[in-house]
């Protein structure tokens, strides 16, 4: 039952590809590295910042550990503070309303949280 509720919150593009995620006013396209929020294109993200953001949105509202993000974006788990630095830079580049949705969960990691 809860799976159906989650699926209703996500729309995929017409071809059924899962590389485009729509959450309310947010559109994130992996293939083109596009982030669009409330009609405004956010194009100042580095590739790594985009990939971190995509992982957070893709796995929301789950908490992603630093090791998970490192393995997903950098294919390693051995670098300290790399994720924290990219999250910090990412939040500075996003509109405040969107940046506030990226939450740090002490001792666990980070998540993209949208209350719906």
Mean pLDDT, consecutive 10-residue stretches, the chain (116 aa), reads: 43 54 95 94 95 96 94 86 94 96 96 85
Domain span at residue 41 reads 2-112
pLDDT of residue 86: 95
pLDDT of residue 16: 46
pLDDT of residue 66: 93
The CATH number linked to 73 is: 1.10.10.10
pLDDT of residue 78: 79
pTM for the predicted model, two decimal places: 0.81
- The total domain count for the chain is 1
- The residue among 20, 26, 102 whose CA lies nearest residue 69 is 102
Q: Distance between CA 54 and CA 37 in Å, rounded? A: 13
Q: Distance between CA 80 and CA 69 in Å, rounded? A: 12
pLDDT of residue 9: 46
């Amino acid at each position: 039952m809860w799976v159906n509720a989650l699926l209703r919150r996500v729309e995929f593009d017409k071809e059924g590809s899962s590389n485009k995620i729509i959450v309310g006013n947010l559109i994130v396209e992996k293939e083109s590295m596009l982030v669009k929020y409330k009609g405004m294109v956010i194009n100042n993200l580095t590739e790594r910042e985009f990939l971190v953001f995509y992982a957070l949105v893709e796995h929301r509202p789950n908490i992603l550990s630093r090791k998970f993000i490192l393995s997903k974006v950098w294919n390693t788990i051995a670098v300290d503070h790399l994720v924290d630095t990219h999250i910090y830079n990412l939040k500075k580049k996003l509109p405040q309303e969107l940046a506030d949705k990226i939450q740090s969960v002490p001792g666990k990691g980070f998540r993209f949280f949208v209350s719906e």
